[in-house]
């Protein structure tokens, strides 16, 4: 029988979709107020992988990623998703989201996202929040899984996540 131990802390990464020009700085300010100092903020990327969000957000959607200095117990992912859902509602106009916040946890072995949508490959956490392993780290690269969204399969996203993974490895070294 194995002994249960505390989870190793992981790197909180939030993928941010937005469509209103000039709002990025405000979003970063709110996220850092909520989750602590950012240690990585990516450049904006055009979000053209799907038109799923166009009805709510318009057609000029951008994505950027933020990771945070403080490592987090991955069992807090549902709580974090609940907070980001609340923040999305603060930016909503007439029932339409103008911001979509996708919190995830990056570890040495994987990148997982939180979601409110159930599916066969998703694990219930609590409060209506599920976790999904989105990418596995295998043979020095992130590998998509059959359900991985097209954007997370892109070389641009994976390059960003590799940079954040390097930061995470440095964080772990400092802690040990």
Q: To which residue do tokens 């954040």 refer?
A: 164
Task: Tell me the CA distances in angstroms from 12 to 27, 53, 55, 103, one per residue in order.
Answer: 16, 24, 29, 7
What mean pLDDT is predicted for residues 111-134?
Answer: 97
- Reported confidence tier of residue 22, pLDDT bands at 50, 70, 90: confident
What mean pLDDT is predicted for residues 63-78?
Answer: 98
Residue 100 scores a pLDDT above 90: yes
Q: What predicted TM-score, i.e. pTM, was given to this entire model?
A: 0.96
Calpha distance 155→160 (Å, rounded): 9
List the one residue out of 114, 88, 86 whose CA is nearest residue 100.
88
Residue 38 C-alpha from the chain's centroid = 13
Give the model's pLDDT for residue 169: 97
Q: Quick: pLDDT tens for 58-67.
A: 889 999 999 9
Give the model's pLDDT for residue 118: 96
Calpha distance 88→97 (Å, rounded): 6
Maximal C-alpha separation, the chain: 55
């Amino acid at each position: 029988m194995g002994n249960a131990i505390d989870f190793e802390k992981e790197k909180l990464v939030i993928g941010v979709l937005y469509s209103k020009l000039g709002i990025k700085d405000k979003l970063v300010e709110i996220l850092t107020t909520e989750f602590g100092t950012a240690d990585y903020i990516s450049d904006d990327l055009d979000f053209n992988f799907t038109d799923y969000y166009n009805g709510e957000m318009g057609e000029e959607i951008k994505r950027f990623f933020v990771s945070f200095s403080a490592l987090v117990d991955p069992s807090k992912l549902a709580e974090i998703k609940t907070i980001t859902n609340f923040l999305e509602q603060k930016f909503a106009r007439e029932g339409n989201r103008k911001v979509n916040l996708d919190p995830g946890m990056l570890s040495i072995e994987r990148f997982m996202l939180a979601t409110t949508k159930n599916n066969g490959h998703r694990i219930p956490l609590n409060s209506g929040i599920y976790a999904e392993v989105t990418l596995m780290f295998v043979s020095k690269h992130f590998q998509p899984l059959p359900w991985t969204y097209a954007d997370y399969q892109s070389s641009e996203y994976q390059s960003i996540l590799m940079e954040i993974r390097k930061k995470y490895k440095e964080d772990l070294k400092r802690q040990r």
